[in-house]
Structure 1
Amino acid sequence: MNRLISAAVAATLLSLAGCTLHSPAPGSPDGGPSGSAGSPPVSKSHPRFAPPPGVSSHWNGTLGVYQIDSERNTYYRERTFYRWQDGWSWAGTLQGPWQPVDSTGVPPALYRHHAQ
């Protein structure tokens, strides 16, 4: 019985020995490309937030959202599209329907980006 327990402990320790931790790259808080000074952090994706399905976009770390490449002032995060056109609106798909929303319904950094 002791041999069985010893073998199980040894197997567990060996499997854990292969695990390593990696720090984000210097200059990039999320480990993505750091970009040049003064420019917003830009990468194709984010490790926590999934990109919009079927839409070309890129992650904007300064705003905390994906920017839709084909649409001006249109963004995406957590299954919601956001659009700025003289006020905020949101939709579940890029085609709409678009519903008006106030500041409480928009990610804070994104809202501040278009604040007057």
Structure 2
Amino acid sequence: MTAIARITLLSLVMGLSACAVHRPPEPGLPPIPPSEPSTTPAPSPTSPGTPSAPIKPSKPQPRTSASFAPPPGGNSHWDAKLGVYVLDDQTNTFYRQRTYYRWNNGWSRAISPDGPWEDTDIHGVPSGLGRQFGQ
């Protein structure tokens, strides 16, 4: 048998064996829904006159970021909207990537929450802070 005939025969056997492995769904089981999003709304599980269950409160915001380390030794929480840690014990003081930012009628930054503070403009702060406070 030539090499081309062997390859052809092997391809045919492999192709047909894939068909033999697939079993049709058993009767009585519900069909599997398509994986792509549907454009039609899902039917409501309750009838129109029945009151629906109360809406669950949203999940609490994480205390830390998955991308940025929290400030060392300070009480803070992650604000995803601003993209920084907010220091809990200092007003308008923020932290991200080893830098502290402070808003006091203008922006300043430092490597310590106690300063020394260096004046900066909106371009020297994370973008979420610039949008929130403006200048």
Structure 2 equivalent of residue 63 of structure 1: 82
- Within the candidate set 77, 86, 95, 2:105 is matched to 86
Normalised by the size of structure 2, how large is the TM-score? 0.55
What is the one-letter code of the residue matched to 1:57?
S
Instruction: Say whether 1:110 aligns with 2:135.
Output: no
* Alignment TM-score, normalising by the size of structure 1: 0.64
Shift of 1:109: 1.1
CA displacement at 1:42 relative to structure 2: 2.9
After superposition, the CA RMSD in angstroms is: 1.8
Instruction: Give the length in aligned residue pairs.
Output: 79
Pick aligned residue for 1:50 from 69, 74, 79: 69
Give the fraction of aligned pairs with identical amino acids, expressed as a percent: 50
Q: Give unmatched runs, 5+ long, in structure 2.
A: 1-56
Does the CA contact (< 8 Å) of 2:122 and 2:134 recur in 1?
no
Superposition map of 1:14-53 within 5 A: 36=58, 42-53=61-72
Which residue is 1:15 aligned to? none
SS at match of 1:62: coil
1:29 matched residue in structure 2: none
The one-letter code sitting in structure 1 at the alignment partner of 2:111 is G
Letter in 2 for 1:108: S
User: Which residue of structure 2 lines up, in the alignment, with residue 24 of structure 1?
Assistant: none
Aligned AA (2:102)? R
SS at match of 2:89: coil
Query: Which protein shows a greater Rg?
Result: 2
Provide Cα deviations, 1:75-101, integer angstroms capped at 9, x if missing partner: 000000000000000000001000000
Q: Supply the distance in 2 between the matched residues of 1:112 and 1:89 (Cα, whole angstroms).
A: 16
